Each structure stands twice: as C-alpha cells, then as structure tokens.
Amino acid sequence: MSFDHARQNLRRAQVRLDCWPEWLVDVNGESLYLGRGTTGRTRMLVDLPRLKCTMEPELLERILRREVHWNSVELACKIRFFRDPNVFNPDVHLLLSFLHMPRTE
C-alpha cells in the first residue's frame, strides 16, 4: 500500500478545504508536513509543533485501503498520540481523516 498516494490524497483535501496548519506529523514512521509550500514531503523545521501517531501496522494498512476510517480508529483509542507541545489542534485531526487511498471510480 502506498503511503505516498494517501499523502497526495490528504494534500488534495487541504487544497479543497484551504487548511494549512504548520505542524509536522509522524504516522508509524511516515512523516507529513501539513503547512504550505511543499509537495507533502517533510521539511526539517525545528520549531514547529509535532504530532506522533502510532498504531498496529495492519490497522494503518486498513485505514489506507479505506476498510476502516481514521475517526473510528481514533475514537476507539487504537492510536497512541504524542504531542509536542501538548496542544490539541482540531485542524490536524480533521486532515488526518483524509489520509487514505483516493477513491477509484
């Protein structure tokens, strides 16, 4: 399963929503920069807030394949979060719900 395709899908959602929080996000070792100005690849920006999300690799695969939804997994407490600083940003969590493979028609 290609995380890059899911990353591109998330970026398209950001464009539609015009939502660009300046955060670095790590999902099971895959990095995402959610701010403007990149193609979705992480820039090493020391002073940005960070969110680290960890879960079972099989669960991430199911999210990426759209078999389960990020929000359902998050509500079921199947994702461990580490924030630095420890601040909840709802825009970041909204965008993570678009981290999946694009719908094929």
pLDDT tens for each residue of 39-78: 445 455 668 899 999 999 999 999 999 999 999 999 999 9
Sheet strands (E) in 1-105? 24-27, 30-33, 50-54, 80-84
DSSP-based three-state secondary structure for 48: coil
State the average pLDDT over residues 27-43. 76
In this predicted structure, what is the pLDDT of residue 37? 73
Any idea which fold 3-96 has?
Nonspecific Lipid-transfer Protein; Chain A (3.30.1050)
Flag whether pLDDT at 105 surpasses 60: no
CA distance to 18, 51, 105, per residue, from 29 (Å): 26, 11, 30
In this predicted structure, what is the pLDDT of residue 38? 58
CB atoms within 10 A of CB 5: 13
CA distance to 23, 85, 87, 100, per residue, from 1 (Å): 24, 31, 31, 10
pTM here is 0.86
In this predicted structure, what is the pLDDT of residue 36? 87
